[in-house]
């Protein structure tokens, strides 16, 4: 299954054919022939992803949605209902020896 078809199946709206797609406040835009910019209306460039193959299309769309969700949650200051700073500190390995 192709990348663009997978985006549409995950309820992304085509703004410009083979160039720009949105889902709510999330945006995916072509950067170059083989890269896509993942962003939101408030953070226009969260991450860049390579053009997926038909084998990796679903995985890539899931990654894009995960990145957008994490950006949304970080703007709200919470991840998994935990204040962002506490969440980040819990992930740090503070073993300094």
Residue 46: inside a domain = yes
Q: What is the pLDDT of residues 13-46, one digit of tens each?
A: 999 999 999 999 999 999 987 899 999 888 899 9
Please tell me the total count of domains within the chain.
1
What's residue 97's pLDDT? 44
Q: What is the spatial distance between Cα 54 and Cα 57, in angstroms, rounded to a whole number?
A: 5
Tell me the Ramachandran region of residue 78: left when phi exceeds 0, alpha when psi lies from -120 to 50, beta otherwise. beta
Task: Map tokens 């860049």 to a residue.
Answer: 48
Residue 47: inside a domain = yes
- Global pTM? 0.76
Q: How many CA atoms lie within 13 A of 43 on its CB side?
A: 14
Residue 96: inside a domain = no
């Amino acid at each position: 299954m192709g990348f663009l078809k997978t985006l549409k199946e995950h309820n992304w709206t085509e703004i410009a054919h083979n160039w720009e797609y949105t889902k709510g406040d999330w945006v995916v835009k072509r950067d170059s022939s083989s890269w896509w910019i993942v962003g939101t209306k408030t953070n226009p460039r969260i991450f860049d992803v390579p053009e997926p193959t038909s084998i990796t299309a679903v995985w890539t769309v899931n990654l894009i949605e995960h990145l957008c969700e994490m950006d949304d949650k970080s703007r709200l200051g919470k991840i998994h209902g935990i204040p962002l700073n506490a969440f980040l500190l819990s992930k740090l390995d503070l073993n300094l020896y």
